[in-house]
Amino acid sequence: MARVILFNKPYGVLSQFTDGEARATLSDHITLPGVYPAGRLDRDSEGLLLLTDDGRLQARIADPRFKTAKTYLVQVEGVASDEALDQLRRGVRLKDGMTLPAEAERIPAPDLWPRDPPVRFRKSVPDEWISLTIREGRNRQVRRMTAAVGLPTLRLVRWRIGDWTLDRLAPGEWREVRVG
């Protein structure tokens, strides 16, 4: 039976257990031996990170060939037009090629924890929240996709990976589930 850890990675924490530069890492929050991240989340992104002690499960979650759905709540600068959302749904051309089509929709501002540091606020520039579900995992993909359609990302929170969600986990908290 595999162990799976659902972890709400705070902003500013690296998705690894060690760092030579004394930055915050997973070891500041998780002291369980033998579990490793299944995929990663950039230091400036927040939300669900899965860790497991099962190498095959880790590969299945992280490897883009398996197309595990990952849902992000994204605060963008600007107003998400129907055209921008349609572009995301069709796939976006990035420097490393076309993305797969995504699920994209406007959502009301979610009831999330405050981010530290807070997202910059500019009275003259509107912002909006979208939900974006992708099935691949290129480097900084969500940020690059929203920028490509004219909506720079201000805040990025991964909410779901496959059937696992961040529901009821505060930043820095984790819970263990058994799989198999």
Q: Quick one: 38 and 94 in the same domain?
A: no
Note whether 149 and 92 are within 8 A (CB).
yes
pLDDT score of 66: 78
pLDDT score, position 100: 94
DSSP code per residue over 109-176: PP--PPPSSPPP--TTS-EEEEEEEES---TTHHHHHHHHTT--EEEEEEEEETTEE-TT--TT-EEE
Give me 39's structure tokens.
């995929």
How high is the pLDDT of residue 160? 97
HSE value, Cβ hemisphere, 13 Å, CA-based, for 45: 21
Q: Same domain, yes or no, for 38 and 88?
A: no
Question: What pLDDT sits at residue 1?
Answer: 86
Identify whether residues 75 and 157 lie together within a single domain.
yes
User: Would you say 8 and 46 are in contact if contact means Cβ atoms under 8 Å apart?
Assistant: yes
Return d(Cα 54, Cα 105) in angstroms, integer.
34
Q: Are residues 156 and 73 in the same domain?
A: yes
Write the CATH number for 93.
3.30.70.1560
Whether 44 sits among the annotated catalytic residues: the reply is: no
**CATH number of the CATH domain containing 21:** 3.30.70.580
pLDDT (tens digit, 0 to 9) for every residue of the chain, 180 residues total? 889 999 999 999 999 999 999 999 999 999 999 999 998 899 999 999 999 999 888 888 887 777 889 999 999 999 999 999 999 999 999 999 999 999 999 999 999 999 988 888 788 889 999 999 999 888 899 999 999 999 999 999 999 999 999 989 999 999 999 887
Q: Do 59 and 85 reside in the same domain of the chain?
A: no
**What per-residue confidence (pLDDT) applies to 10?**
97
Q: Which among 42, 54, 111, 116 is annotated as catalytic?
A: 42
- Split into its structural domains, the chain has a count of 2
Domain span at 18: 2-64+166-179
Same domain, 92 and 35: no
Asked if 79 and 58 sit in the same domain, the reply is no
